[in-house]
A and B are shown apart, each in its own frame.
Chain A
């Protein structure tokens, strides 16, 4: 838990910055029968990113990476909207879209697990081809649909709460249960730690790998439905553009090591919220469009630096050093992996 302190601190700092510029930033009202406020906006527009990042967390926990999620987002939205515009039923449209996403994810998993292609290359194939596939589905056009039921997924409200937030909460709880209450999480971490050793120990590494890639694609598919439903249209070109990079960033900010073997779902959610809060902050405090990217880069750099143990030790001196032995061993190791450093504490631990 302790390693979540830094990302949480950054999130609070960003929120505080917003309050300085917009005093009413934290207020949440009920307007037109639904919750209304900047915090709700952050959760609502952040929902797709959180979903994609949850899937990405498990992939990264196996030591892999999935670059194709952005394209899968576009494909899911495109196929669902196309089906709806062809008067297929809503359930059929959603089932087809998510089914295709599962297939694409399994394809990624097979390339990685069975063929043995490096994850970054295997998923790069679908990242490039998938965007083309999405455009093929939409015929290069923006498909506008007018279906109130479809609109519910990403733009509607469920008991005053935006439905996107509800969906994310459900996925998060289910994922946390499966990985933390059942052995699945441990199996994933063990595959990430050493796939061959896990296999020799009797874990079906390949099955696990295919499963996590399929799960990541499914999460991306649901996110794609949300994004397209929010504006009642499918945009093969721009939907989910660069979301894979934001998702990877969210996972890393949340303290999950890219080397695999360990993951933190709570950290990922925090990371995604930081990114979305940053985006909202840029709009609210009026950063000029020309400097938006620079502003983002500076904040992200600061977040990464402040999370690095070695950076903190260099800047803040020996105080952290003295406090460190109290940290539980597991946390300690993960944090060191994140920073990519050998631990200075070995041997002095009580």
Chain B
């Protein structure tokens, strides 16, 4: 009896799987047959932070507004998922592919496939380190090195009257990712001019709150004298704030905190005085992306580097703009 039931269940599951595949394939071919409507395949890194979800929403909203059919896939932080997604977009013959690479390297083969299929590629938010620039049309996104420099510049300014050594701990982003590498390097470039600035500990917090908190707890125990925390995004900084409070210290006063991104929770903490300074990294690049996509599909020339417009926030500025933040 059981065997029969299990056989029936299995048969049912198989049938469902087959139908699912069938309908998926049908939808794909239908999407590309409309000649006038642009179809864009977009492969997102994941939903690892509030920043990323705002970025996703911006792209989705802008696509709807611009009348572009968006095929969206979430890579859940894995390069192989992104490569799979891009390959499937190539098979579906979309008009343009856009993606935010999880890591910088290892994209040559799949980008070559897209190029051979004559599908233009736009990089958003993160770059790839491929020497062959013809593999993609343009790179739209923030300048992470510049962000690191802005963070460093504020720090140098803040401590310009002090001669005591400044002990800095750093919470890096996902190891190997462009924002982690560039924010670290840009920051280093500015602070290395003055030997009083010392990064005494640096570890990855994977851009997540949970890891940020866990790593900061360990930093606090291993290094009793921490003056400044530099976190590569708000979420890690927010996790670290909890760790600092748990250690009986006051975030923003005992330990100054610099973060990058300016998401809502981060701006709130900045306005509350827990974070000292935030370098903005705007995720709202959807409209710019859709403009570029239209131009690229129409065969127009586009600049190979487009920088999103960004600023920085102090605690006072955060209080003013807090109510108008979209993300």
Asked whether A289 and B48 contact (CB < 8 A) given A38-B221, A284-B218, the answer is no
Is B53 a contact of A283 with CB atoms below 8 Å? Answer: no
> Per-position contact with A for B1-27: 1 when CB-CB < 8 Å, else 0?
010011001100000000000000000
A114 to B4, CA, bound (A): 11
Q: Is the interface of B mostly helix, strand, loop or mixed?
A: helix
A62 to chain B, nearest CB (A): 19
Say which residue of B53, B221, B224 sits within 8 Å of A25 (CB atoms). Answer: B221
B167 contacts the other chain (CB 8 A):
no
Is A45 a contact of B248 with CB atoms below 8 Å? Answer: no
Q: Which residues of B contact A289 (CB under 8 A)?
A: 172, 175, 202-204
B150 contacts the other chain (CB 8 A):
no
Is B2 a contact of A114 with CB atoms below 8 Å? Answer: yes
Closest to B7 in A: A115
Binds B, one of A7-15, A50-58, A231-239, A263-271: A231-239
B103 to chain A, nearest CB (A): 12
Say which residue of B77, B222, B239 sits within 8 Å of A237 (CB atoms). Answer: B77
Is A22 a contact of B222 with CB atoms below 8 Å? Answer: yes
Is A116 a contact of B6 with CB atoms below 8 Å? Answer: yes
Binds A, one of B82-90, B206-214, B299-307, B317-325: B206-214
Closest to A38 in B: B221
Is B76 a contact of A114 with CB atoms below 8 Å? Answer: no
A345 contacts the other chain (CB 8 A):
no
A283 to B209, CA, bound (A): 16
B246 contacts the other chain (CB 8 A):
yes
Asked whether A41 and B218 contact (CB < 8 A) given A227-B210, A230-B213, the answer is yes
Is A141 a contact of B53 with CB atoms below 8 Å? Answer: yes
Is B56 a contact of A235 with CB atoms below 8 Å? Answer: no
Residues 130 to 165 of chain A near chain B (Cβ within 8 Å): 131, 135, 138, 140-142, 144, 155
A155 to B239, CA, bound (A): 12
Q: Which residues of B contact A284 (CB under 8 A)?
A: 218, 221-222
Is B202 a contact of A37 with CB atoms below 8 Å? Answer: no
A142 to B212, CA, bound (A): 15
Is A283 a contact of B222 with CB atoms below 8 Å? Answer: yes
Asked whether A283 and B218 contact (CB < 8 A) given A36-B246, A289-B204, the answer is yes
Is A22 a contact of B221 with CB atoms below 8 Å? Answer: yes
A230 to B47, CA, bound (A): 19
Residues 51 to 79 of chain B near chain A (Cβ within 8 Å): 53, 56, 74, 76-77
Closest to A233 in B: B209
Q: Which residues of B contact A141 (CB under 8 A)?
A: 47, 50, 53
A301 contacts the other chain (CB 8 A):
no
B287 contacts the other chain (CB 8 A):
no
Closest to B222 in A: A284
Is A280 a contact of B248 with CB atoms below 8 Å? Answer: no
> In which size bucket is the chain A interface?
35 or more
A191 to B265, CA, bound (A): 50
Is B217 a contact of A142 with CB atoms below 8 Å? Answer: no
A107 to chain B, nearest CB (A): 12
Residues 92 to 144 of chain A near chain B (Cβ within 8 Å): 114-116, 131, 135, 138, 140-142, 144
A244 to B202, CA, bound (A): 27
B207 to chain A, nearest CB (A): 9
Closest to A228 in B: B210
A87 contacts the other chain (CB 8 A):
no
Is B208 a contact of A31 with CB atoms below 8 Å? Answer: no
Residues 133 to 162 of chain B near chain A (Cβ within 8 Å): none
Say which residue of B49, B76, B206, B219 sits within 8 Å of A283 (CB atoms). Answer: B219
Closest to B265 in A: A144
Q: Which residues of A contact B242 (CB under 8 A)?
A: 155, 231
Q: Which residues of A contact B49 (CB under 8 A)?
A: 142
Q: Which residues of A contact B31 (CB under 8 A)?
A: none
Closest to A155 in B: B242
Q: Which residues of A contact B77 (CB under 8 A)?
A: 237-238
A290 contacts the other chain (CB 8 A):
yes
A25 to B218, CA, bound (A): 10
Residue picked from B9, B10, B203, B213, most chain A C-beta under 10 Å: B203
Is A231 a contact of B209 with CB atoms below 8 Å? Answer: yes
Is B247 a contact of A31 with CB atoms below 8 Å? Answer: yes
Q: Which residues of A contact B239 (CB under 8 A)?
A: 231
A237 to B208, CA, bound (A): 10
Is B203 a contact of A283 with CB atoms below 8 Å? Answer: yes
Q: Which residues of A contact B246 (CB under 8 A)?
A: 32, 34, 36
Q: Which residues of A contact B209 (CB under 8 A)?
A: 142, 231, 233, 235
Q: Which residues of A contact B238 (CB under 8 A)?
A: 231
Is A31 a contact of B248 with CB atoms below 8 Å? Answer: yes
> Per-position contact with B for A275-294: 1 when CB-CB < 8 Å, else 0?
00001101111101110100
Is B210 a contact of A135 with CB atoms below 8 Å? Answer: no
Q: Which residues of B contact A116 (CB under 8 A)?
A: 6
B201 contacts the other chain (CB 8 A):
yes
Residue picked from B47, B76, B201, B247, most chain A C-beta under 10 Å: B47
Is B221 a contact of A24 with CB atoms below 8 Å? Answer: yes
Residue picked from A144, A155, A289, most chain B C-beta under 10 Å: A289
A89 to chain B, nearest CB (A): 24
Q: Which residues of B contact A280 (CB under 8 A)?
A: 218
Say which residue of B50, B172, B221 sits within 8 Å of A41 (CB atoms). Answer: B221
Residue picked from A116, A230, A237, most chain B C-beta under 10 Å: A237
Give B residues with C-beta under 8 Å from A. 2, 5-6, 9-10, 46-50, 53, 56, 74, 76-77, 172, 175-176, 201-204, 206, 208-210, 213-215, 217-219, 221-222, 224, 235, 238-239, 242, 246-248, 265
> Considering the complex of A and B, which 8 residue pairs feature the smallest CB-CB distances, nearest first?
A283-B218, A289-B204, A284-B222, A115-B6, A231-B209, A140-B47, A289-B175, A31-B248
* 11 CB < 8 A contacts A-B: A25-B221, A36-B246, A38-B218, A131-B76, A141-B50, A141-B53, A227-B210, A235-B208, A238-B206, A285-B222, A289-B202
- Known pairs A140-B56, A292-B204. 20 more at Cβ < 8 A? A24-B221, A25-B221, A36-B247, A41-B214, A41-B218, A45-B217, A114-B2, A114-B5, A131-B76, A135-B47, A140-B53, A142-B49, A142-B50, A231-B213, A233-B209, A237-B46, A237-B47, A237-B48, A238-B210, A285-B222
